[in-house]
Chains A and B, each alone.
Chain A
């Protein structure tokens, strides 16, 4: 076994190096605005290209590198199927976000493109790294690397609302960092080693004195990561930060950041799941409360971004739901649910981004009649919403619900399952409320555009999109909604990654 495997490290190194290169290029030639973005995209594509073979053809055996003395337990970097799939998801979602951030005539974020691209790449490197981190040190560093740049991304919008959102995010991150560090210290104290190893954890769990310390440490880690994953009661920053940042940044928060947070949680909980620790009850309670609060508040939102923010909270509950069951497949189930959610929510954010062009007010009413006036956008958003609701034709979301419920039911946690059932119903109400707006008659002035596809038949062009959409955004839309359609027809494409 090599102690330094560059290819295995590729998914982390590619975005990290990309960030550095972008900054260097910016220092040398600050006028080359689009080159920065192109470089950023290239870095992510390289990362994806390196990660893809490992994720697709994974034999189940984890790839390890950065091993200290050749012992398997002492490797600092370990990529199993779940981690590989999460890395892939982080890189792909960052790619979509970067396409949305492509500079155009529209008033962009402050700080210049190079800073934006570098921040996105750095956070992505952190997300990709935390999934593979196998020791407390790199885990902590990567987790913070995934978080801190996002605060800047929110703040760079420059509005008062953005400042408030960034402040909320900053405060949250600091508290969360404090909790995580304390938790890590207790973990180190209890297990005696800085590496996440199941054996050390079970040894610590068997010893009553160390057991209490370890469980307290895990609870603190859980709380710290809970902030990042928007779990109730650590969720309050979510709507503020989402609404404060631009739609693209909100998409990053909803997709890449959530992947980072879940990856961090999985790394911590994996040894505990294998040991069947009692902390998992806490996870179940948090999941139930989170999905309930998120869904109920999402029902009352009128700003699509805020609605998607509360929907993130609700879906975060679903994401951690399977983790409450101490079965070997539960981390894979959790990862699968998250990736399904990320695909659907990215599509929704891309469409919201397109609709918000020109500073139109962000309300649900802005998408009135979208299915008829701008069929392509409306269709993509409609499919995304149905997928989030878990109703066919959004088969991906439906299958994800099955995947998430399966470990819970198999463990016989009926109460939790019933809470989930109730939430599935409320969730449907949340998304159908928006879907019904898409389905309404288009507002009067859209009449001309609505008539176009009827006359032109299948002719492509402005008809189905109903207006100018910047080419990179179009690429983002096609990529994300294409993925959503493909995984809805063949959910195995996504679920297979995690096996």
Chain B
């Protein structure tokens, strides 16, 4: 029941905003959406505590069911999504969207939240696919309609790229899911995870795992398939960038855990080295791109590619620690990238651009709050101990150093070394950004510092970044049991 409330409230409010509530003013729309997001958050918190399960038939001829449940893997992501759902609405309060009606903007935000929540709740493989697709159109609208007002051509290009790349990935995933369902005889993810791939021949497992990993890798994104991400991030409005980085990318990694890793472990074990290598390449590639990138927003987007590389390596290692690390890094990256995009998006608005080569006033001097948030964000992003980014990346490198017995040891040790070098790159680009943007004496042109809801949002995210870094225990404990179950079934 609670899970249904979490989904129905954003769905109902979004449909109302798109139909009857079209003419409402910005404040009213924002208030309504905030209420919906908060209600949804409350329902999600209740659901995480109570762990209810819903199982109803939807399309019997396909075996498609409304099967929703919460477990240790989905709980952190559900909380992250619901919290960020509130955050993005609050963040929009003082900045009426340009490019379309406020109602449409908020409806899109709520629909993205709905799709993400449904994806994390779904326990039916086909329902997972349908929910996965729900986010596409609203996100596309956010990018093409409400994105960077100065460059309409870039908006259309970025939006189109986003939709086509991710739709390609998800349709590929659909083929994998259909093959999996045909082989397993059920579309129930819990049942398939319990079976752990038993009864599915090795060759089928390999095909299914390859299809699923390839499809989901687009969303994550893993190295050669990441080219949609930087333009999408650069042009999307701040709220869209936050959702994109903190929620949508997580759907990809979550899918990797829920689908290939849990249901066809033997097939996944054979694909894992490739995933690991691509993850490591992504770390280095993203880091190098960040060293030369001139657009600050795009730089943060490339750093996402690098961070997702760590998640991919953790998943590929096949150990409990690796999986835990991946899930932790997932959530940590969600919080950190949300923080960075709020700050960087705010800076872009104030500066009227995000080019790093343009001489600007030093943040330390003119906008100490924003400057502080940027420093913490980049420090967390480079994996400084005591901040959220550290644990996931540290554990991920550790798990690659000692992977599961059936993984090629030498290869994974090399990956561990490469990933560790990647953190050095991260330090380098973080310092590069801070040196150009934050440090210095220049005081013109002055910009306004962060305040009101923007600052509230930043504070919430800052607290989360620090809290995850200082006390990682609760989150690791939350995922622990389910992870043991998954890795246990795989052995």
Contacts of B136 in A (CB 8 A): 391-392
Once bound together, how far apart are the Cα atoms of A117 and B163, in whole Å?
A: 43
Evaluate contact between A399 and B62: CB separation under 8 angstroms. yes
Contacts of A393 in B (CB 8 A): 134, 137
Q: B46 near A: Cβ within 8 Å?
A: no
Q: List 26 A-B contacts (CB under 8 A).
A: A375-B22, A391-B133, A392-B130, A392-B134, A393-B134, A395-B130, A398-B133, A399-B62, A399-B130, A402-B126, A402-B174, A405-B174, A405-B175, A406-B178, A409-B178, A409-B182, A410-B178, A424-B167, A425-B168, A428-B163, A429-B160, A432-B140, A491-B59, A492-B58, A492-B59, A499-B61
Q: A436 near B: Cβ within 8 Å?
A: yes
Q: A445 near B: Cβ within 8 Å?
A: no
Query: Closest residue of chain B to A372, judged by CB?
Result: B101
Q: B145 near A: Cβ within 8 Å?
A: yes
Q: B172 near A: Cβ within 8 Å?
A: yes
Once bound together, how far apart are the Cα atoms of A422 and B215, in whole Å?
A: 12
Q: A304 near B: Cβ within 8 Å?
A: no
Evaluate contact between B144 and A436: CB separation under 8 angstroms. yes
Evaluate contact between A455 and B23: CB separation under 8 angstroms. yes
Once bound together, how far apart are the Cα atoms of A455 and B23, in whole Å?
A: 8
Query: Dominant SS at the B interface?
Result: helix
Once bound together, how far apart are the Cα atoms of A405 and B61, in whole Å?
A: 14
Contacts of A424 in B (CB 8 A): 167-168, 171
Query: Closest residue of chain B to A426, judged by CB?
Result: B164
Query: Closest residue of chain A to B60, judged by CB?
Result: A492
Given A393-B137, A492-B60, A495-B61; A425-B164 close (CB under 8 Å): yes
Q: A496 near B: Cβ within 8 Å?
A: yes
Q: B79 near A: Cβ within 8 Å?
A: no
What distance in Å separates the Cβ of B202 from its nearest Cβ neighbour in chain A?
A: 15
Contacts of B182 in A (CB 8 A): 406, 409-410
Evaluate contact between B175 and A421: CB separation under 8 angstroms. yes
Q: B329 near A: Cβ within 8 Å?
A: no
Once bound together, how far apart are the Cα atoms of A436 and B157, in whole Å?
A: 12
Contacts of A457 in B (CB 8 A): 20, 23
**Which A residues contact B (CB, under 8 angstroms)?**
372, 375, 379, 386, 391-393, 395, 398-399, 401-403, 405-406, 409-410, 412, 414, 417-418, 420-422, 424-425, 428-429, 432, 436, 439, 453-455, 457-458, 490-492, 495-496, 498-499
Chain B, residues 99-136, CB within 8 Å of chain A (1/0): the string is: 01100000000000001000000000010011001101
Once bound together, how far apart are the Cα atoms of A417 and B140, in whole Å?
A: 26
Contacts of B207 in A (CB 8 A): 414
Once bound together, how far apart are the Cα atoms of A264 and B133, in whole Å?
A: 34
What distance in Å separates the Cβ of B33 from its nearest Cβ neighbour in chain A?
A: 18
Q: B156 near A: Cβ within 8 Å?
A: yes
Contacts of A375 in B (CB 8 A): 19, 22
Partner of A428, one of B18, B164, B179: B164
Contacts of B164 in A (CB 8 A): 425, 428-429
Once bound together, how far apart are the Cα atoms of A436 and B155, in whole Å?
A: 12
Interface centre among A425, A439, A458 (most CB of B within 10 A): A425
Supplied contacts A395-B130, A439-B141, A453-B22, 4 more A-B pairs, CB within 8 Å: A372-B101, A405-B175, A420-B171, A492-B58
Given A402-B129, A432-B140, A453-B22; A409-B62 close (CB under 8 Å): no
Once bound together, how far apart are the Cα atoms of A188 and B156, in whole Å?
A: 57
What distance in Å separates the Cβ of B220 from its nearest Cβ neighbour in chain A?
A: 18
Partner of B137, one of A386, A399, A409: A386
Query: Closest residue of chain A to B24, judged by CB?
Result: A454
Contacts of B62 in A (CB 8 A): 399, 402-403, 406, 491, 495
Given A392-B133, A421-B168, A496-B60; A432-B178 close (CB under 8 Å): no
Contacts of B23 in A (CB 8 A): 453-455, 457
Once bound together, how far apart are the Cα atoms of A235 and B263, in whole Å?
A: 43
Query: Closest residue of chain A to B18, judged by CB?
Result: A379
Q: Which 4 A-B pairs have the closest CB atoms?
A: A454-B23, A409-B178, A410-B182, A495-B61
Contacts of A432 in B (CB 8 A): 140, 160, 163
Evaluate contact between B61 and A496: CB separation under 8 angstroms. yes
Contacts of B22 in A (CB 8 A): 375, 453-454
Chain B, residues 153-183, CB within 8 Å of chain A (1/0): the string is: 0001000100110011001101100110010
Interface centre among B156, B171, B179 (most CB of A within 10 A): B171
Given A492-B60, A492-B61; A409-B140 close (CB under 8 Å): no
Q: Chain B: how many interface residues by the 8 Å CB criterion?
A: 39
**Which B residues contact A (CB, under 8 angstroms)?**
18-20, 22-23, 58-62, 64, 100-101, 115, 126, 129-130, 133-134, 136-137, 140-141, 144-145, 156, 160, 163-164, 167-168, 171-172, 174-175, 178-179, 182, 207
Contacts of B101 in A (CB 8 A): 372
Interface centre among A414, A428, A495, A498 (most CB of B within 10 A): A428
Contacts of B140 in A (CB 8 A): 432
What distance in Å separates the Cβ of A281 from its nearest Cβ neighbour in chain B?
A: 19
What distance in Å separates the Cβ of B227 from its nearest Cβ neighbour in chain A?
A: 15
Contacts of A395 in B (CB 8 A): 130
Once bound together, how far apart are the Cα atoms of A386 and B49, in whole Å?
A: 37
Evaluate contact between B163 and A379: CB separation under 8 angstroms. no
Once bound together, how far apart are the Cα atoms of A418 and B130, in whole Å?
A: 19
Contacts of B144 in A (CB 8 A): 436, 439
Query: Closest residue of chain B to A499, judged by CB?
Result: B61
Once bound together, how far apart are the Cα atoms of A403 and B129, in whole Å?
A: 13
Partner of B130, one of A372, A398, A405, A406: A398
Query: Closest residue of chain B to A495, judged by CB?
Result: B61
Contacts of A453 in B (CB 8 A): 22-23
What distance in Å separates the Cβ of B257 from its nearest Cβ neighbour in chain A?
A: 23
Evaluate contact between B137 and A391: CB separation under 8 angstroms. yes
What distance in Å separates the Cβ of A261 from its nearest Cβ neighbour in chain B?
A: 24
What distance in Å separates the Cβ of B112 from its nearest Cβ neighbour in chain A?
A: 12
Once bound together, how far apart are the Cα atoms of A421 and B182, in whole Å?
A: 18
Query: Closest residue of chain B to A399, judged by CB?
Result: B59
Contacts of A391 in B (CB 8 A): 133, 136-137, 167
What distance in Å separates the Cβ of A302 from its nearest Cβ neighbour in chain B?
A: 17
Evaluate contact between A439 and B145: CB separation under 8 angstroms. yes
Once bound together, how far apart are the Cα atoms of A249 and B64, in whole Å?
A: 37
Partner of A402, one of B141, B163, B178: B178
What distance in Å separates the Cβ of A465 from its nearest Cβ neighbour in chain B?
A: 14
Once bound together, how far apart are the Cα atoms of A15 and B87, in whole Å?
A: 59
Once bound together, how far apart are the Cα atoms of A455 and B126, in whole Å?
A: 43
Contacts of A491 in B (CB 8 A): 58-59, 62
What distance in Å separates the Cβ of B163 from its nearest Cβ neighbour in chain A?
A: 6
Contacts of A458 in B (CB 8 A): 20
Contacts of A386 in B (CB 8 A): 137
Contacts of B134 in A (CB 8 A): 392-393
Once bound together, how far apart are the Cα atoms of A375 and B18, in whole Å?
A: 9
Evaluate contact between B167 and A428: CB separation under 8 angstroms. yes
What distance in Å separates the Cβ of A373 from its nearest Cβ neighbour in chain B?
A: 12
Interface centre among A409, A412, A418, A453 (most CB of B within 10 A): A409
Interface centre among A420, A421, A458 (most CB of B within 10 A): A421
Once bound together, how far apart are the Cα atoms of A432 and B163, in whole Å?
A: 9
Query: Closest residue of chain B to A451, judged by CB?
Result: B23
Query: Closest residue of chain A to B135, judged by CB?
Result: A392
Once bound together, how far apart are the Cα atoms of A392 and B137, in whole Å?
A: 7
Once bound together, how far apart are the Cα atoms of A414 and B171, in whole Å?
A: 13
Interface centre among B22, B140, B163, B207 (most CB of A within 10 A): B22
Query: Closest residue of chain A to B180, judged by CB?
Result: A409
Once bound together, how far apart are the Cα atoms of A193 and B292, in whole Å?
A: 76
Query: Closest residue of chain A to B175, judged by CB?
Result: A417
Once bound together, how far apart are the Cα atoms of A431 and B115, in whole Å?
A: 21
What distance in Å separates the Cβ of B48 from its nearest Cβ neighbour in chain A?
A: 25
Once bound together, how far apart are the Cα atoms of A414 and B174, in whole Å?
A: 12
Contacts of A398 in B (CB 8 A): 130, 133
Contacts of A417 in B (CB 8 A): 175
Once bound together, how far apart are the Cα atoms of A492 and B136, in whole Å?
A: 23
Contacts of B156 in A (CB 8 A): 436
Contacts of A425 in B (CB 8 A): 164, 167-168, 171
What distance in Å separates the Cβ of A310 from its nearest Cβ neighbour in chain B?
A: 18
